[in-house]
Chain A
Amino acid sequence: GQSLEQPSEVTAVEGAIVQINCTYQTSGFYGLSWYQQHDGGAPTFLSYNALDGLEETGRFSSFLSRSDSYGYLLLQELQMKDSASYFCAVSTDSWGKFQFGAGTQVVVTP
């Protein structure tokens, strides 16, 4: 079977740094994506890692280690608007077909 594990909830204060880990077990692997979803909204794409290493996009960075079947999303300089659910997702056989993790609820407090 396939599984993706990520923490269910993380709470942090404005300005802090949060790291959301994701470990996966899948039959195939093309890449690891991260998505943000606010309550009632659709997911929005944050990042995609196909190769090992760190990808930085503004305040958000994503890391992948294929040998460890592990990745993380790093949220820096947290803002209130970053309060949302964050999903890791693995592409197992083609670019657009993803299996999603259960999601991590990030709560940012003043």
Chain B
Amino acid sequence: GAVVSQHPSRVICKSGTSVKIECRSLDFQATTMFWYRQFPKQSLMLMATSNEGSKATYEQGVEKDKFLINHASLTLSTLTVTSAHPEDSSFYICSAEGADTQYFGPGTRLTVL
């Protein structure tokens, strides 16, 4: 079946640094990918829709200048958390539209010290 990968799976960084998370569709092309954030014991919250070759669409309340999204190819979308702070510590999950379902990546756990 279709697989979506994320890299890295886990990252710890210092406050003020930027972190890039990659989301790849491994055996299918994804013109649209989605980025979610999940805090402990909470639900997934949609952050943005990433469209190949165009600007991402951000959900209300999500800072587009803080969470930079680039979808440069049909198999890769990246999320960069700029100037990360401890409150950005979360589980970041991407998903991609397949032919008949949505496929989630394994997630990236970000810890900002």
Residues of chain A whose beta carbon lies under 8 Å from any beta carbon of chain B? 33, 35, 41-45, 48, 87, 89, 94-103
Contact = CB atoms under 8 A, between A and B. Distances in A.
B43 A98 contact: no
A98 B46 contact: yes
B78 interface: no
Nearest to B102: A96
Nearest to B101: A45
Interface in B25-64: 32, 34, 36, 42-46, 49
Question: Chain B binding site: helix, strand, loop or mixed by DSSP?
Answer: strand
A41 B106 contact: yes
A97 B35 CA distance: 10
A87 B102 CA distance: 14
Interface in B61-113: 93, 95-97, 101-107
B43 A42 contact: no
A96 B43 contact: no
Contacts of B95: 96
Given A48-B101, A95-B102, 10 more contacts: A33-B102, A41-B107, A43-B44, A44-B104, A45-B101, A45-B102, A45-B104, A96-B97, A97-B49, A103-B43
Given A48-B101, A95-B97, A96-B34, A102 B106 contact: no
Contacts of B34: 96-98
Given A41-B107, A42-B93, A42-B107, A100 B102 contact: no
A96 B46 contact: no
A30 B46 CA distance: 17
A82 to B, nearest CB: 19
